[in-house]
Structure 1
Amino acid sequence: MTPDQIRLVQDSFREVVPIRAAAAALFYERLFAIDENLRALFPVRDMTKQGAKLMASLGFVVHGLDRAETILPTVRELAKRHVTYGVEEHHYPIVGQALIETLAAGLGPAFTPPVREAWEAAYGLLASVMIAAAREDQLAA
């Protein structure tokens, strides 16, 4: 990611923070609309706590983008935990789609093409690190 992309992601995320509960709810609504089978990965129906965890994790990653080496160990551990929840590699593009659609809806006109590209780059980086960590974990098992 370029420094400009990092800035765009961080700046736009500041706009999401005040609407984080609604954004999280919309994210899961989009996720389950794209693939209703993913609902089985979430044993609870009240997704409020899960949404708060999602937004906290997203905030951690977003704020650490300009010093990726400090967040990557945590991201790798997150990936390993997700494997135990049943997350598979083919789920990552679906999550990315739901995230981009959520941001587009939540940010409205502020979700410009450069902001979209920056978020796609950020998610691509995150997903690639998580996928690699999950593969390593599965090979070690």
Structure 2
Amino acid sequence: MTPDQVRLVQDSYAKVRPIAGTAADLFYGRLFEIAPEVRPLFPDDMAEQKKKLMAMLGLAVAHLGHPETVAPAIQELGRKHVAYGTQAAHYAPVGAALLWTLEQGLGPDFTPEVREAWTETYALVAGLMTGAAAETA
């Protein structure tokens, strides 16, 4: 990722952070709409899961300029997701739900450049997770 892309992601995430609860609601609502097959992988009470999502997203965004500092935590998350039943095919709808959520939350600030920067960010995170998951399986 370029330094400009890192800045775009970090700046746009700063706008999402104040509405983290709403963003998490939007994300999971959209994910379960476009990939209902993943719903059984999650608990009935999603409150804690939503907090974990926003915390991990915040961690990844904060360290985006130096991903090697957070890569071990992201890889461990990928390994843990194997035990939850996550499959490689699940990562595409998660990415789509994330981009949709950002578009809803940022409105006109979700420019094509911001979309591309977030797409790169998700590709990096998903790549680390799926790579580690593949080593576990």
- Give the shorter-chain TM-score range: over 0.9
Aligned residues between the structures: 137
The aligned runs of 1:91-110 (5 Å cut-off) are 91-110=90-109
Structure 2 CA distance for aligned equivalents of residues 65 and 35 of structure 1: 28
The aligned runs of 1:51-90 (5 Å cut-off) are 51-90=50-89
Structure 2 CA distance for aligned equivalents of residues 78 and 24 of structure 1: 18
Name the TM-score, length of structure 1 as normaliser.
0.95
Deviation at residue 137 of structure 1 after TM alignment: 1.3
Q: Aligned partner of 1:101: which letter?
A: W
User: Deviation per CA, 1:68-93, whole angstroms, max 9, x where unpaired?
Assistant: 11100011000001111111000001
2:32 is the counterpart of 1:32: yes
* Structure 2 unpaired stretches of 5+: none
CA contact (8 A) 1:25 1:48 kept: no
Deviation at residue 123 of structure 1 after TM alignment: 0.2
The aligned runs of 1:11-22 (5 Å cut-off) are 11-22=11-22
User: Deviation per CA, 1:17-69, whole angstroms, max 9, x where unpaired?
Assistant: 0000000000000000001111100122x312111110000000000111111
Structure 2 CA distance for aligned equivalents of residues 53 and 129 of structure 1: 18
SS at the partner of 2:88?
A: coil
Name the TM-score, length of structure 2 as normaliser.
0.98
RMSD, matched Cα: 0.7
1:121 matched to which residue of 2?
120
SS at the partner of 1:66?
A: coil
Percent identity, please.
54
Displacement over 6 Å in runs of 4+: none
Q: Aligned partner of 2:99: which letter?
A: I
Structure 2 CA distance for aligned equivalents of residues 114 and 43 of structure 1: 35
Structure 2 CA distance for aligned equivalents of residues 110 and 32 of structure 1: 25
1:43 matched to which residue of 2?
43
User: Deviation per CA, 1:121-140, whole angstroms, max 9, x where unpaired?
Assistant: 000111111111100111xx
Structure 2 CA distance for aligned equivalents of residues 50 and 135 of structure 1: 23
